Structure 1
Amino acid sequence: MPLGALRPSPLVEQATQHLREQITKGEWPVGTRLPGENALAKALGVGRSTVREALRALAGAGLVQARQGSGVFVIATEPATGPGEDWSARLRRAAITDVYEVRMMVETQSARLAAGRRTDEDVAALESALEARERAAEGDDAAFVDADIALHAAVVSAAGNPVLTDLFAEFAPALRDGLIGLVEELGLRAHDRNPGHDTHAALVAAIRRGDAEAASGILQAELEQTLAHLHGKPR
């Protein structure tokens, strides 16, 4: 689809406006993956950095979302409404790294609380989730990520705070998309179908015996490693 080359200045604003018009007019319906940065840069007659800034502005307006390893997709044809915007919609358009940083804060504190508050039922749920994660290692990446998130959800639930549980549930869909893309892109299961098993087993054991420092530390280290991958800097 011809977009037309842009005038020299101001390029970012022009690129943003041109792309926004294509989206709001329905040229790229919701769910459509946008052309790559190189293709957009060539069509608009600008550099990739200009396109990247324009896409960032569109993401901030709630029109597009970058998905790790998959590209940039249209998620709305009208800009987000601002302060009254639905929280779930805000998460859907957030960068996975931003969501992950907040997840790390929520989960490390949840693990600490879980070690002090876990009930026999919580421990049983954690052990069951760990076993389910191990079984899911025989399946595809999506099934494994789902089982991994379910185990982490069980940790949060064991903290005994319904607000934390609800907050994690809101994060889960955005986390799932980002993690599936990460596993596929980096081939994290190419040589080990069940990566992180020992770490997760140690986490469950720490919560079982009531060791808050160990539980929090194990989870902090594990999530920091994944966040480093998301930033493109494997540890």
Structure 2
Amino acid sequence: MNQLASPHVTTKQRDVLDALLGMIEARQLGIGDRLPPEMELARTLGVGRSTVREALRSWQDMGIVSRNKGAGTVLAAEISGRSMQLPLSVSLEAESLLRTLAVRRPLEIEAVRLAARNATERDRHAITGRMLDLMQAYDSGDDWRAADHRFHAAIHEASGNPLFGQIITQLQRAFAEVYEAPFGEPQLGHATVPRHRPLAEAVVEGRDAVAAGLMQEILEETEIAARQIMKDKSR
């Protein structure tokens, strides 16, 4: 499962997001409701306006709020822990992760399909090499996320369309900037890593339908793992 290891928000910014969650829940704000201005939020939370702005930007990147000068900051997604019987912060994290996976799925599947059709000899060599690096990290028990990112980046490059890599990386970064490790699980999707070998082989051999099917299975298994964690935390 392709995860991006990237810098995440500071503890203060995460505290701001948690405080915002509490305020939204207390005021029973819903989709389409406007949040107070940044200056008012900064005063209420006792932090600088820049800290509030960065926290809201993280939410904007994940589609939780929309922001523009005319309308201010407006909720674009439901924020409530009640729907999944989870703590509010965990509920929002779960919804953000599932939303990210839903957007990524068609992009990742089409990327591997095109890579199988368009890969050059150089691309195929890079995909194989990065798959072997990923397997080595996985088999040795090391953190495999960086190797996984390089593997998928090689596939995105082989697709012949740089937008796949750009959009998917942007989606990953938006989530990782707030949640360093989804649900405290730094290697969510660990069980799917062995499937990356046949995925690489299918791409290298030009079997586009097989590659697309394997990518879909990897993403579906990761979503199932995420939903199981959500279920366990709701108990």
Q: TM-score, normalization: structure 1? A: 0.57
Runs in 1 of length 4+ with deviation above 4 angstroms? 28-32, 82-85, 175-180, 186-189
Please say if 1:203 is aligned against 2:178: no
* Change over 3 Å in CA distance of 1:187–1:133 after alignment to 2: closer
Q: Does 1:12 align with 2:28?
A: yes
How far is the alpha carbon of 1:165 from its aligned partner?
Answer: 2.6
1:166-185, aligned counterparts within 5 Å?
166-174=166-174, 176=176, 181-182=181-182, 184-185=184-185
State the secondary structure of the residue aligned to 1:95.
Answer: helix
SS at match of 2:56: coil
CA distance in 2 between counterparts of 1:114 and 1:202 reads: 14
Given that residues 126 and 154 in structure 1 are in contact (C-alpha distance below 8 angstroms), is that contact kept between their aligned partners in structure 2?
yes
Tell me, in whole angstroms, the C-alpha distance in 1 between the residues paired with 2:178 and 2:134. Answer: 18
Question: How many angstroms apart in 2 are the aligned matches of 1:233 and 1:176?
Answer: 22
Asked if the contact 2:156/2:162 (under 8 Å) is kept, the reply is no
Change (3 A) 1:17 1:180: closer
Out of 218, 223, 226, the residue aligned to residue 222 of structure 2 is 226
Partner in structure 1 of residue 136 of structure 2? 135
Structure 2: distance between partners of 1:210 and 1:179: 36
**Letter of the structure 1 residue corresponding to residue 172 of structure 2:** A
Residues 82/108 of structure 1: CA separation in 2 closer, same or farther (3 Å cut)? farther
Q: 1:134 to 1:166 in 2, by over 3 A?
A: same
Paired residue for 1:24? 42
Matched with 1:161 is 161
User: Conserved in 1, the CA contact under 8 Å of 2:128 and 2:204?
Assistant: no
Q: Which has the larger radius of gyration?
A: 1
Uncovered stretches (5+) of structure 2, i.e. residues with no partner: 1-18, 20-25, 60-65, 73-92
Give 1:213's aligned residue. Answer: 209
Paired with 1:160 and 1:118, the residues of 2 have a C-alpha distance of: 8
Aligned residue in 2 for 1:49? none
Q: CA RMSD for the aligned pairs?
A: 4.3
| Structure 1 CA distance for aligned equivalents of residues 58 and 162 of structure 2 | 32
Identity over aligned residues, as a percent? 22
Specify which of 42, 61, 80 is matched with residue 67 of structure 2: 80
Letter matched to residue 174 of structure 2? A
Aligned length: 173
For the residues of structure 2 that align with 1:121 and 1:84, how far apart are their CA atoms? 49
Shift of 1:128: 1.6
Contact 2:145 2:187 in 1 (8 A): no
Q: TM-score when scaled to structure 2?
A: 0.57
SS of alignment partner, residue 196 of structure 1: helix
Q: Deviation digits for residues 144-188 of structure 1, max 9, x if unmatched?
A: 222212211211111111222322232232354588523843876
Mapped partners of 1:83, 1:148: distance in 2: 41
Residues 83-122 of structure 1 mapped to structure 2, 5 A cutoff: 95-122=96-123
The verdict on how the C-alpha distance between 1:96 and 1:160 changes in structure 2, with shifts beyond 3 A counting, is same
Distance in 2 between residues matched to 1:104 and 1:127, nearest whole Å: 22
Q: 2-side partners of 1:166 and 1:107: how far apart?
A: 12
